[in-house]
Structure 1
Amino acid sequence: MINSKKAKIWYGGDYNPDQWEKPVWDEDLRMFKLAGIDVATLNVFAWARNQPDEDTYEFGWLDEMMDKLHADGVGVCLATSTAAHPAWMAKKYPDVLRVDFDGRKRKFGGRHNSCPNSPSYRKYAVRMAEKLADRYKDHPALLVWHISNEYGGYCYCDHCEEAFRDWLRDRYGSIEAVNRAWNTGFWGHTFYEWDEIVLPSRLSEEWISTSGRLSTNFQGISLDYCRFQSDSMLECYKLEYEAVKKHTPDIPVTTNLMGAFKDLDYHKWAKHLDVVSWDNYPSFDTPHSYTAMMHDLMRGLKDGQPFMLMEQTPSQQNWQPYNSLKRPGVMRLWSYQAVARGADTVLFFQLRRSIGACEKYHGAVIEHVGHEHTRVFRECAELGKELFGLGDAVLDARVKSKVALLFDWDNWWAVELSSGPTVALKYVNELHKYYDALYRANIAVDVVSVETDLSGYDLVIAPVLYMLKPGVAKRLESYVEAGGALVSTYFSGIVNESDLVTLGGYPGELRKLLGIWAEEIDALLPTQSNRIVLKSPQEGLQTAYGCGMLCDLIHSEGAEVVAEYGEDFYRGMPALTVNRFGKGEAWYVATSPDDAFLQDWLPKLCEARGVEPLLAGAAAGIETSLREKDGTGYLFVLNHDAETASVALGARTGVDMLTGRRISGSAELPGRDLWIIKLDQ
């Protein structure tokens, strides 16, 4: 449990007293008490304040604030401040500055302008982390370490180029193995010496296409550079992790992730985080199911361990084209959505709005007016009171699902670096279509890696599993053979981990399991479509559904043909198949179906596998999640609509922990409100 020092859902967020004069500090602390804030994240961007030159360290302001917060009962999530290097460092040690995709050396400015392979950056970042850890190792306010902030962005400098060659030596062992992995016989790219290898950028292999997509001549090179940059930043994190752990071995360490963030392989990162934390910033019109999927993805990074909601905004954001206010009740509702799906903290960016620069219009608990008489502050204070009342009831409670959705960063990179067959294929969007269908049916889903033990799941869904890493196909076979059900889709099993095509017919290593082979792949224009025609429609399913984008032209090799294409020259060819394999079954969806098909078909498939929804027949705006702890279930029921909805609980009964009201049968849930029902045994 991450909250053992403060046994409740932590409530607070990023606080930047280093941007304010001291008279403001006491006023802020007064309002923190009013809002129920009990955790503050300090020191995120204060490197320049802490270290005005190479040899001087000044922590007086931080000492004072740590003491003040502790005296007021507020714990500290202490950041290492290394997310933004000081100007003096950029001037004296220009190797810390990144080189961009076009080969231009950056100057000081912005943030995340540090090269992850810069010797100077690593030296001073680790030194700062260790000084902070040594100074505050015994401070009673210290609850958790926050390394750097929102790692991301690539560098293309000479240090990165040399480090990339070293990374390749470690990965492949020989230049001959690199040539094989990258298929360098194509276009005469064979390498004979390590220093002949250059970074993939606009100066070499890559370009930005007219559609805005990163394109490359050699997917293997670009794919490995994605892996390398993710590993490089992870190495920076690990160096700081080790520095603080040396002095505070019992204090948990994290860094804030960003959901489905393409730059970094979070499955790899999560192995080195004591607890996962992430920043949740949906837009006004982001589907609630997408936000839910991101929470489930973050929870799945460490096998279902509760996570930290490190950042969200109390009101509006500042970087989107249209920065809408959160309507009354939405901040509270979305905070509880995170808790429902595994968060044990509710933290904001930010506690007080800054007066200048690009985040001055980003929402905060304390607005520019500077007092507590605002709608946002009142809502925050009401939420703080509720969280205090919940105490430790749901802390460390787990979400248990019988359905798994496979998510893989290497596969994501490979799919979208592909030179075909369509620019319309967006990996995360396709996964979300499957997730959304189950979300609408109130069926719980774990979003997990291809390395996860699947034996506990009744249904595993693996959309667009284009790349098969070593051992994945065999593990899927073993899962199905033992009685599991797998849903695979078009554009799966095509390549190995080096993005080299597996010969012998698509879907490669999955061919035996799925009982089909794919001869061709048709890419449809956005204006084109086809149809999935069911051969024997089931109750609750239509006879035909639309489909588009990609259509695999497949042949059965033992699989039962459940549906066929309805149009074009491949009319009558299989569009949906199922193969009985051992004690289980493997489905293949040969095209990208309309949402209506997945919303009708997937719940039926779950029902056949004995997977039940948390609530049946709920209105479209109702979201549910179940957390369990010590044999007690806590059913979260959230109404995302502005209107009241009637919710039928079926046989479930219990007490709403927020109001003390007993709920059973059918009950009215007001708009943008929720229940946390402690279920009767």
Structure 2
Amino acid sequence: MPSLHDATRGRILFGGDYNPEQWPEEVWADDVRLMKEAGVNSVTVGVFSWAMIEPRPGAREFGWLDRLLDLLHTHGIGVVLATPTSSPPPWMGALHPETLPRAEDGSLVAYGSRQHFCPSSPVYRHYAAALTEDLAARYADHPALTVWHINNEYCTHCWCDETAAHFRRWLASRYTTLGALDEAWGTAFWSQRYDSWAEILPPRRAQYLRNPAQELDFKRFTSDALMECYTAERDIVARHTPHIPVTTNFMPLWSGQDAWAWAEQEDIVSVDVYPDPADPHGGQYNAMLADMTRSQARGPWMVMEQAAGTVNWRPVNHPKPDGLNRLWSWQAVARGADALCYFQWRQSRQGAEKFHSGMLGHAGEHGRTFREVKRIGAELALTGGEVSGTEVPADVAVLHDWDAWWSSTQDGRPSSLLSYPELLRTWHRALWEEGIGTDFTRPGADLSAYRMVLVPQLQLLSDAATDNLVAYVRGGGTLVCGFFTGVTDVDDRIRPGGMDSRLRELFGIRTVHEWWPLDAEATVECHGFRGTLWSEELEPDGSAETVAAYTGGELDGLPAVLRKGTAWYVSTLPEPRALRDLLGRAAAGAGVRPVVEGLPAGVEAVRRGALLFLLNHGRSPVRVELTGRHVDLLTATGCDGGVELGRYGVAVLQEASA
């Protein structure tokens, strides 16, 4: 099976989306000149080119794309060639309105933007497959082709009649009988029992609360329906070019795709990352997305999109201060990226994203953004051979599961303030600030390689996943579990006792009497810290140590944090410093140590292969003390005893030979 290594050939890919159809052809030569100046060795082409290639049904206009790929190859620039199926041309919506998605209320989602297609539409799938077939046949042997990029940011949802029919087929395959579906969905509640498959609809806008099990299955179905579109195109290009790796770009922490399942269908796992420059924790968010994507890839991965400067879709779009683009780019490399790409190469002058930055911005080749891009390209060229293909070790895993996420978003839950992705981010931040390397993995995965496993919050846990956690602890692993975990089974059915009995025994809990969610600004006092967001009325069974108890209020004296052997249960969300201390204590007990001890505040240390990356997320210079002698590959200078890092500074250190 082809891989990212086949595309990188021992270097870091560097470039971005290239949309030359937005510019006169005479601009292309200037683009190539500046790409070479910036060290660009890869560009993504064709993402939104459907109307250019197929201006009317069945027509094919490949001449411009032929000339473009030839030009890029002549100048040594590889091509990530996209199937342009994320954005159907206007003629499709006009001639075939049944290909357009419908919203939950039944209203038509018109063409005129992008991603305006129903994933279940056989007409859309026919046109997408035909175009992909011709694209793959034409460019299979083109020497510029290095990677196939299928579609773009699969994010379409649809509630139309075609989707309803597809959903019913999916359900019939999953449950076989209506009786099994009624049992799984709990349709005895509110007189929802089904008498025929034809009665079943997607969870459209309803009079009041919708069936949460139906909503959960519809989210599972939507991820699968989109994946069918992806695999259909993937199989076409793979048949023509079995030696060329295939990818599609994830959106980070987007709930619509089960990325664990999708990653198994990709040769390369790629993601679009856009931390907010105004977010004081933007660096940690970038690190978390890198850790998550690397874990899905089980090795090196690809930044398909990032911003060289501003984006255009936040309420206020802040630019990246000088040096931040370089810092976050190197942070991705440190955490396993073997490709750094941007949206996009040349900033658009028209269209909805004309205020979204490019590698070559409106300020042109003399602008600050392009100068920083050139610096990154030059540094990658110097160090890529030492970095590409190497691994990032981690002794800790954070469990992350789409079923659990989907189940936690239903209406009628104990607290709408509980945000699954925010909890992931909060727990990861505590480890990041402790300097502890982290992977992500699924609840049912083999956990034996990790000294410590964290469960920030998994409302839904399957029987197999629960048994897996119990076996991990019985085998000597350290498990730290957050509140409201193991509450429901795979059908979103509440477990007796408020938590799965196997977990209650694991943590020393007899029963969960009540969940006590907190208001937005409220806190609960615990011995040694304050808790936020949530609390629980737990009755311990006497087999566990109360590490911290609630003090005052209705829960006075009851356990806030329990520990039974190497299993910890945290029934509230400690304030950031307290969570960091708690996880640091558990990690130390598990034999987990920071990558580098005693780092200054705001400095991140990551080991990748034989290299040590130091990244200063602060605006003030700092000194990092180290033992031994190192060489900074970015400057080719020796470092004895310590390293000076300037504002947003980066060092890539290799141990010097004696």
Normalised to the residue count of structure 1, the TM-score between the two structures is 0.93
Gaps of 5+ in 2: none
Q: CA deviation at 1:381?
A: 1.1
- SS of the equivalent of 2:6 reads coil
- SS of the equivalent of 1:268 reads helix
Q: CA deviation at 1:532?
A: 1.8
The alignment status of 1:562 with 2:547, answered yes or no, reads yes
Do 1:259 and 1:295's aligned partners in 2 also have CA atoms closer than 8 Å? no
Do 1:299 and 1:342's aligned partners in 2 also have CA atoms closer than 8 Å? yes
Do 1:502 and 1:509's aligned partners in 2 also have CA atoms closer than 8 Å? no
Distance in 2 separating the partners of 1:115 and 1:241: 18
- SS of the equivalent of 1:22 reads coil
* Partner AA of 1:16 in structure 2: N
Q: CA deviation at 1:617?
A: 2.0
After superposition, give the CA deviation of every residue in 1:273-332 in whole Å (9 maximum; x if it has no partner).
Answer: 1110011111123312122111111111132x1100111111111111111111111111
* Partner AA of 2:121 in structure 1: S
After superposition, give the CA deviation of every residue in 1:455-493 in whole Å (9 maximum; x if it has no partner).
Answer: 010000012121112301111111111110101121011
Partner of 2:423: 430
Distance in 1 separating the partners of 2:518 and 2:374: 52
Distance in 2 separating the partners of 1:664 and 1:191: 73
Distance in 2 separating the partners of 1:501 and 1:606: 31
Do 1:15 and 1:351's aligned partners in 2 also have CA atoms closer than 8 Å? yes
Distance in 1 separating the partners of 2:553 and 2:286: 37
Q: Which of 552, 570, 591 lines up with 1:589 in the alignment?
A: 570
Partner of 1:195: 198
Q: CA deviation at 1:663?
A: 2.0
- Rate the CA distance shift 1:531–1:233 in 2: closer, same or farther, 3 A: same
* Partner AA of 2:557 in structure 1: G
Do 2:278 and 2:318's aligned partners in 1 also have CA atoms closer than 8 Å? no
Partner of 2:347: 353
The alignment status of 1:87 with 2:72, answered yes or no, reads no
Partner of 2:529: 545
Do 2:157 and 2:222's aligned partners in 1 also have CA atoms closer than 8 Å? yes
Within 5 Å, which residues of 2 pair with 1:479-628?
A: 479-516=472-509, 517-533=511-527, 544-557=528-541, 558-580=543-565, 585-628=566-609
Distance in 2 separating the partners of 1:31 and 1:8: 20
Aligned residues: 650
- SS of the equivalent of 1:327 reads coil
- SS of the equivalent of 1:417 reads coil
After superposition, give the CA deviation of every residue in 1:406-459 in whole Å (9 maximum; x if it has no partner).
Answer: 011110111121522111100111122211111011110101122321001000
Partner of 1:679: 655
Partner of 1:538: none
Which one is further off, 503-512 or 596-605? 503-512
Q: CA deviation at 1:646?
A: 1.7
The alignment status of 1:393 with 2:386, answered yes or no, reads yes
RMSD: 1.4
Do 2:118 and 2:156's aligned partners in 1 also have CA atoms closer than 8 Å? no
Q: CA deviation at 1:505?
A: 4.2
Distance in 1 separating the partners of 2:444 and 2:470: 14
Q: CA deviation at 1:620?
A: 2.1
Distance in 2 separating the partners of 1:576 and 1:479: 20
Distance in 2 separating the partners of 1:57 and 1:479: 56
Partner of 1:540: none
Q: Which of 280, 287, 293 lines up with 2:273 in the alignment?
A: 280
After superposition, give the CA deviation of every residue in 1:79-107 in whole Å (9 maximum; x if it has no partner).
Answer: 00111001111111112100012210122
Gaps of 5+ in 1: 206-215, 534-543
Do 1:514 and 1:587's aligned partners in 2 also have CA atoms closer than 8 Å? yes
Partner of 1:644: 621
The alignment status of 1:151 with 2:148, answered yes or no, reads no
* Partner AA of 2:301 in structure 1: F
Do 1:200 and 1:221's aligned partners in 2 also have CA atoms closer than 8 Å? yes
Partner of 2:321: 327
Q: Which of 436, 439, 446 lines up with 1:443 in the alignment?
A: 436
Which one is further off, 392-401 or 505-514? 505-514
Do 2:255 and 2:402's aligned partners in 1 also have CA atoms closer than 8 Å? yes
Q: What is the aligned-residue identity percentage? A: 39
- SS of the equivalent of 2:539 reads strand
Partner of 1:661: 637
- Rate the CA distance shift 1:123–1:661 in 2: closer, same or farther, 3 A: same
* Partner AA of 1:605 in structure 2: A
Which one is further off, 244-253 or 389-398? 389-398
- Rate the CA distance shift 1:666–1:389 in 2: closer, same or farther, 3 A: closer
Q: Which of 286, 289, 306 lines up with 1:291 in the alignment?
A: 286
The alignment status of 1:47 with 2:42, answered yes or no, reads no
- SS of the equivalent of 2:311 reads coil
* Partner AA of 1:549 in structure 2: L
Distance in 2 separating the partners of 1:431 and 1:347: 26
Do 1:198 and 1:204's aligned partners in 2 also have CA atoms closer than 8 Å? no
Partner of 1:478: 471
* Partner AA of 2:305 in structure 1: E
Q: CA deviation at 1:665?
A: 2.2
Distance in 2 separating the partners of 1:86 and 1:39: 27
Distance in 2 separating the partners of 1:70 and 1:14: 16
The alignment status of 1:380 with 2:366, answered yes or no, reads no
Do 2:54 and 2:60's aligned partners in 1 also have CA atoms closer than 8 Å? yes
**Which stretches of structure 1, 4 residues or longer, exceed 3 Å deviation after superposition?**
3-6
Distance in 2 separating the partners of 1:30 and 1:506: 62
Which one is further off, 267-276 or 521-530? 521-530
Within 5 Å, which residues of 2 pair with 1:361-380?
A: 361-369=355-363, 371-380=364-373
- SS of the equivalent of 2:386 reads coil
Do 1:103 and 1:156's aligned partners in 2 also have CA atoms closer than 8 Å? yes
